[in-house]
């Protein structure tokens, strides 16, 4: 996707925003990330809802995309700068990204507004605690589109997209059973620490944000190549291409989220809101399949609320571990927890969490041929499937199922899992 800026702006049918003759390229990892994470399974859930009747204070027509001149966007960005330690510079790139989120990606912005009710209270709590700008809460939208299960091709994971090495340096656990990069509170604490440390080095939020994307080494190199300049817009040409758009993307996203009503955009809300979920703390092994049996809450919902447990179980740990669930199930869990613990022990005869159901004949054939079948569920990715089986990698799955197109996995497709 290419975005051009300055002057009049309109949308075409080819993901292009045209503004006179100056062009900047947005066909980079940021835009591709928006498109890929938009397909996350919970974005397609039927229980997202919205009610625009009370929110449409400007009396727009349904599906109307208001025509907003650049001058108005500039005024609003200047107003945002006055209210924040972060400068919302009305640069051409910032305006381009503001239009991207408010016009071309308006459906994504609606979903982000809905998911904000689940995630933003935690982001805001920790940002305030660390005396950091509240607008940094929009950074996970750029990183993961608020998809805690998001994984990049390079191995970054979670809402804040930490690489394994960086995560461990920041005190997060990344192991076979636990991946705290996907845990809301812990990963946000780590992100706050990283950004705060970066700000203490550069004394500039634009540079701190840029270093979050490309690392301090690239920012320092850009400063040296610009003869010591420390203004983001003055060193932008020396930064990696993705980082050149990263800061403007954050500023533009913050604009679209703040002025969504003025652009006829309203929240599409998920099935669960922040006040409808709660956490129980446990230090014994708990399988999601056992919780499902006793509480009648689906494994899919437990997986959605607890993305830090890739094997669909909370392992035995010395420290208490959080298990998030709808608040209506908390009392039932407490009254049945001894039975849940007992049934979740390793010696339990219950089937493993995610083994697909098989007929007797199918199982015999599978054992003889050295594989089992798994049926693709809605929202499954190749990485998700590999995580369900000990010792199985994505390359194993591709090799065993070379006849399939893994870029277009359909719900109900059976794939073979090597034993």
Residue numbers annotated as active site: 143
Distance, C-alpha 323 to centroid of its chain: 19
User: CA-CA distance, 416 to 413, in Å (whole number)?
Assistant: 10
Q: What is the enclosing helix (H) or strand (E) of 299?
A: helix 299-305
User: Are the CB atoms for 88 and 94 separated by under 8 Å?
Assistant: yes
Q: Collect all residues with Cβ–Cβ distance below 8 Å to 198 and sequence separation of at least 6.
A: 207, 208, 211, 212, 216
Count H helices and E strands in the chain, helices first.
Answer: 18, 10
CB-facing half-sphere around the CA of 309: CA atoms within 13 A: 25
User: How crowded is residue 311: how many other Cβ atoms within 10 Å of its Cβ?
Assistant: 19
User: Are the CB atoms for 250 and 142 separated by under 8 Å?
Assistant: yes
How far from 120 is each of 109, 141, 375, CA to CA, in Å? 14, 11, 35
User: CA-CA distance, 372 to 414, in Å (whole number)?
Assistant: 10
| Strand partners of residue 280 | 323
User: CA-CA distance, 108 to 102, in Å (whole number)?
Assistant: 9
Helix, strand or coil, per DSSP, at residue 174: strand
* Interhelix angle 184-202/216-225, nearest 10 degrees: 20
Token pair, residue 246, equals 């990263």
Helix, strand or coil, per DSSP, at residue 415: strand
Helix, strand or coil, per DSSP, at residue 269: strand
Q: What is the enclosing helix (H) or strand (E) of 106?
A: helix 106-129
User: Are the CB atoms for 162 and 96 separated by under 8 Å?
Assistant: no
**Kind of pairing between the strands at 277-282 and 17-18:** unpaired
User: Are the CB atoms for 126 and 188 separated by under 8 Å?
Assistant: yes
DSSP string, 79-97: HHHHTSSS-----HHHHHH
Token pair, residue 177, equals 């059973």
């Amino acid at each position: 996707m290419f975005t051009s800026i300055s002057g009049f702006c309109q949308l075409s049918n080819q993901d292009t925003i045209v503004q006179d003759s100056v062009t900047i390229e947005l066909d980079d990892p940021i835009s591709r990330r928006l498109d890929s994470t938009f397909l996350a399974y919970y974005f397609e859930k039927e229980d997202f809802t919205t009610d625009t009747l009370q929110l449409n204070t400007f009396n727009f027509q349904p599906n109307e995309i208001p025509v907003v001149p650049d001058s108005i966007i500039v005024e609003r960005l200047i107003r945002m700068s006055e209210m924040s330690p972060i400068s919302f510079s009305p640069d051409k790139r910032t305006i381009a990204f503001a239009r991207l989120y408010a016009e071309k990606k308006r459906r994504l912005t609606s979903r982000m507004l809905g998911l904000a009710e689940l995630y933003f209270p935690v982001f805001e709590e920790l940002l305030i605690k660390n005396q950091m700008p509240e607008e940094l809460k929009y950074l996970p939208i750029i990183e993961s589109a608020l998809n805690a299960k998001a994984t990049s091709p390079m191995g970054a994971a979670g809402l804040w997209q930490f690489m394994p090495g960086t995560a461990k340096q920041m005190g997060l656990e990344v192991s076979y059973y636990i991946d705290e990069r996907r845990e809301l509170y812990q990963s946000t604490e780590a992100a706050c620490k990283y950004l705060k440390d970066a700000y203490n080095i550069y004394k500039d939020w634009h540079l701190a944000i840029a270093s979050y994307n490309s690392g301090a080494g690239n920012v320092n190199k850009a400063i040296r190549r610009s003869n010591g300049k420390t203004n983001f817009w003055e060193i932008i040409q020396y930064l990696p291409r993705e980082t050149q758009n990263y800061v403007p993307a954050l500023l533009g996203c913050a604009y679209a989220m703040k002025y969504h009503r003025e652009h006829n955009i309203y929240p599409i809300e998920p099935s669960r809101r922040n006040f409808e979920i709660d956490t129980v703390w446990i230090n014994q092994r708990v399988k999601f399949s056992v919780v499902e049996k006793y509480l009648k809450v689906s494994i899919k919902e437990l997986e959605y609320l607890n993305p830090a447990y890739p094997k669909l179980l909370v392992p035995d740990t010395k420290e208490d571990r959080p298990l998030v669930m709808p608040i209506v199930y908390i009392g039932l869990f407490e009254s049945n927890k001894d039975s849940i613990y007992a049934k979740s022990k390793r010696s339990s005869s219950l089937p493993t969490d995610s083994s697909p159901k098989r007929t007797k004949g199918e199982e015999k054939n599978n054992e003889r041929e050295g594989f089992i079948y798994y049926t693709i569920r809605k929202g499954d990715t190749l990485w998700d499937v590999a995580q369900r089986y000990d010792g199985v990698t994505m390359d194993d799955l591709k090799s065993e199922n070379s006849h399939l197109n893994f870029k277009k996995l359909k719900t109900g497709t059976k794939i073979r899992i090597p034993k």
